[in-house]
Structure 1
Amino acid sequence: MSNQENIGVEKKFSKFIVIVSIAIPVAVAVLFSVKLKDFGIQVEPLSFLPPIYATINGLTAIVLVAAVMAIKKGNRKLHEKLMTTAIGFSVLFLLMYVAYHMTADSTVYGDTNFDGIRSDEEKAAVGSSLYAYVFLLLTHIVLSIGIIPLVLVTYVRALAQRFDRHKKIAKIAFPLWLYVAVTGVVVYLMISPYYAH
């Protein structure tokens, strides 16, 4: 491919990246607020999903690190396969996350009696870990939105064989994506004792 063709590939995907980067967070926000029971659809909460999608986050982190190690060793094919796998894991996580939240009520951190409210006593019991949880959760959510265009642009630049530009943005995308994946696991481990049984 000529340099002009490579630039053309990148430009061809630019509108797609913008649309997807806006559509995914909007769709997730809308679907997150939709509960199937509100439409008369009685479905058991998919309570088996959170440990699965937390594991997928963990696997994403491992795959990301392996992909960086592969490219540092010059193994471009393995790097490409691992990055495609990481994107696939992220899509799978997103589908499971939305499915769970469409069937289950939100879990309140520190809610030991599972009534959906964190009482003063429960708040005192969790102490400052609540602030750590809220910080991790908020940064996880904000960065998971921001990482979408970064990952897509990075991926498209690789497809377009514009590796100089790919490498520049990958240096930003990688640590942010890794943070999102790792904090996804940490947030799950912190909130899991408070899932309704």
Structure 2
Amino acid sequence: MRALTKSDKIAVPVIISLSILVPLIVLVLMLLPERYNIFGIQSGTFPLFHAVLNGSTAVLLVFGYFFMTIKEYRLHRNIMITAFSLSAVFLISYVLSKISNDPVPYGGEGIMRYIYFFILISHIVLSAIIVPLVLFTMYRGLTGEYLKHARIARWTFPIWFYVAVTGVLVYIFMLPYY
């Protein structure tokens, strides 16, 4: 096993810490007994914004993958940084929405209820898993460790894409109930 580089000694603990803290913060906020609508925003506003961010991220991920396959690495990097930025905006907005608005229960019935909860649960679980994957993938790419970047990106891309697409699907399922 190789020794950690100077930058790894800082980045790896930061990535691990964020990977633990982000899901914990979201979980705690979801369980808040009281909401504080800081901005006075209606409950349906955040979900639409989140769906737009998730959908845009999914499109950017496909473009990023495409540019990587045709060896347009500068475009790949820029698109992936943009996708990461949209995901960061989503995360901040999602945290604010959990502070501001009560959860809205899903009202569907029958087979649609099972489909919704399968999509929702897989989305939530993979959302927690994607945090360290994206952070390590971005870190390895931006530090020029392209072999490591490519190895982890093989896992990151499909999971991140799934999370982005299912984020939009959750919104579509929930649309009648906002």
TM-score (norm 1): 0.82
Structure 2: distance between partners of 1:149 and 1:86: 15
Structure 1: runs of 5 or more not aligned: 111-122
Aligned pair partner of 1:175 in 147, 158, 164: 158
CA deviation map 1:62-118 (0-9, x unaligned): 0001001111111111111111111111111112222222222211111xxxxxxxx
Change beyond 3 A, Cα 1:107–1:46: closer
Match status 1:151 vs 2:134: yes
Match of 2:94 in 1: 97
Structure 2: distance between partners of 1:47 and 1:100: 10
Structure 2 matches for 1:3-18, cutoff 5 A?
7-18=5-16
Match of 1:115 in 2: none
The percent identity for this pair of structures is: 38
CA deviation map 1:9-68 (0-9, x unaligned): 34431101100101111111122223334xx97945443121111011000000001001
Structure 2: distance between partners of 1:41 and 1:9: 38
Q: Is the 8 A contact 1:49 1:96 kept in 2?
A: yes
Match status 1:57 vs 2:54: yes
Change beyond 3 A, Cα 1:41–1:55: closer
Structure 2 matches for 1:1-80, cutoff 5 A?
7-34=5-32, 35-37=34-36, 43=40, 45-80=42-77
Aligned pair partner of 1:128 in 107, 111, 129: 111
Structure 2: runs of 5 or more not aligned: none
Aligned pair partner of 2:84 in 71, 84, 87: 87
**Match of 2:106, SS?**
coil
Say how many residue pairs are matched: 176
Structure 2: distance between partners of 1:168 and 1:58: 25
**Aligned Cα root-mean-square deviation (Å):** 2.2
**Match of 2:167, SS?**
helix
